[in-house]
Amino acid sequence: MSTPGLLDKFAPVAALRDALAATGRNPTGLVTERLLSPTLGIIEGRETILAGTNNYLGLTFDPACIAAGKKALDEFGTGTTGSRMANGSFALHQALEAEMAAFYGQRHGMVFSTGYAANLGMLSALLGAGDAVLLDADAHASLYDGCRMSGAQIFRFRHNDTAALESRLRRLGEQSRRALIVVEGLYSVFGDVAPLAEMIKLKHAYGAYLLVDEAHSLGVYGATGRGVAQAQGVEDDVDFTVGTFSKSLGATGGYCVSNNPVLPLIRYTSRPFIFTASASPSVVATTREALRQVRERPELRTRIWANANRLYAAFQEMALQLGCSVPSPVLAVRFSQRDEAFACWQGLIEAGVYTNLMVPPASPDGSSLLRVSVSAAHTPEQVEQIIAAFAKVVLPVQQARAEAVSAA
């Protein structure tokens, strides 16, 4: 057998793509042709309710956000054409950093061009050879990649398992003082939250540090929308909070806020911060306006939670297999068979509802599931339409499976 060539690794990828294409509807290649609102789009020529967009507060078509973006385009142009380190630091970027810090009540704020870059940039700068990182097994790929880039020793612990976290901290011995615990506030697939108070106890006991990613919880959790740490009353004990502007704030970009004086120094050491162009002016401007709305329109949170609670109650009533036992703006319906999940995803598209299909190896625990994310912008009627589509498409499949299992 000849030695494999450089590009031979793509053969299985091509086979997978062809298999997906042969189904007639590739879940990784679905295109939204037009958007009618934050929650309604045209897919395959049909009006489709968007129930898998992470557009939690529905601000993507907010008139004030759009006006702010247009104004910035006129005043600052289309792009910055440079790094924050060089010509790419505009007054807008500095203002957003100050506003993020003020929003969180923290001394320092720093923004990155994307949420992915924020995690890559923070972890690769905070950690180095000789340091250890304790990473939740379900943590997002960007957190994992940042840890890999740092050269630190990476130890994964079972998802949300504080006993597993403690046993790893204990085994580190003296090195635990050079350890960073990395978790998410809200886990974006199953909708469960980290037990931060218990993790903070361990952090103090072992002299370690804690970084929490609030990507999916910004604007949604906590009395003023600062995330899960605020909801759990533990913000003062989180060393570094990271997150993204691409979900509840409807833009792109990422951030870190902290009281720790090293954050301003990370500007000088973080390669994903330095070696990329800064965010475009219009993006920064829409982000700032969206943040203002998070501060001044608490009714957005009231609305998303009303929708989340309604959907959760309806799914429970149908006895669907859910990924989590508390209501959350993200709900996952589990399937034991990959084909069943795929068929239901197809059926929902045909019924005019877009959800996220996740199958192994992309799902956190190897299961197949449909993920739904609700928005403050979903009307009560749209929420009922989502529920009706699940009752028509998903419920019979899950009932048949439950009967087959109990008969076996």
Partner 1 sequence: MVTSIQQTLLTMLGKHITDGRTLGVDTDFVSGLGLESIQVMEFVMEVEERFDIAIDLDTLSNVRSVAGLAAIVAKLAGDQA
Q: Over the Cα atoms of the chain, what is R_g?
A: 22
**In terms of DSSP bridges, do strands 353-354 and 330-335 run parallel, antiparallel, or are they unpaired?**
unpaired
Label residue 125 exposed, middle or buried (CB < 10 Å: 0-12, 13-18, 19+): buried
Sketch the per residue contact string, 342 through 381, with partner 1: x for CB under 8 A, - otherwise: ------------------xx---xx---------------
Q: How far is the CB of 403 from partner 1 (least distance, A)?
A: 23
- Alpha helices for 127-161 (secondary structure H): 141-150
Which residue is it, tokens 């007054």?
91
Closest CA to 83 of 283, 249, 268, 244: 268
Instruction: Name which of 135 and 349 has its Cβ closer to partner 1.
Output: 135
By the 8 A CB rule, do 120 and 145 touch?
yes
Instruction: Count CB-CB contacts under 10 A for residue 58.
Output: 21
* Residue with Cβ nearer partner 1 (137 or 277): 137
The single residue of 142, 188, 363, 375 carrying the catalytic annotation is: 188
Question: CA–CA separation, 24 vs 26, rounded Å?
Answer: 7
Q: Which is nearer to partner 1, 18 or 365 (CB)?
A: 365
Strands 46-50 and 40-43: antiparallel
Instruction: Examine residue 70 and tell whether it contacts partner 1 (CB under 8 A).
Output: no
Number of residues that bind partner 1 (CB under 8 A): 17
Cβ proximity to partner 1, 136 vs 235, nearer residue: 136
Half-sphere exposure of 142 (CA within 13 A, CB side): 19
Query: Which residue of the set 93, 108, 247, 378 is catalytic?
Result: 247
Residue 216 bears catalytic tag: yes
**Least separation in angstroms between CB 151 and partner 1:** 9
CB of 265 to partner 1, least distance (A): 27
Contacts (CB under 8 A) with partner 1, residues 209-238: none
**Residue closer to partner 1 (CB basis): 360 or 380:** 360
CA 228 to the chain's CA centroid: 13
Least separation in angstroms between residue 147's CB and partner 1 is 8
Binding mask 102-141 for partner 1 (x = CB under 8 A): ------------------------------x----x----
User: Out of 93, 159, 216, 378, which one is annotated catalytic?
Assistant: 216
Q: Is 29 helix (H, G, I), strand (E, B) or coil?
A: coil
Structure tokens at 367: 């299961």
Q: How many residues does the chain have?
A: 408
Closest CA to 297 of 382, 376, 215: 376
Query: Contact at 8 Å (CB) between 58 and 39?
Result: yes
Instruction: Choose between 171 and 271: whose C-beta lies nearer to partner 1.
Output: 171
247 given a catalytic annotation: yes
**Smallest separation (angstroms) from partner 1 to the CB of 168:** 5
Q: How far is the CB of 123 from partner 1 (least distance, A)?
A: 14
| Residues from 154 through 213 that contact partner 1 (CB under 8 A) | 154-156, 158, 164, 167-168, 171-172
Applying CB under 8 A, the residues found at the interface with partner 1 are 132, 137, 148, 153-156, 158, 164, 167-168, 171-172, 360-361, 365-366
User: What is the set of active-site residues?
Assistant: 188, 216, 247
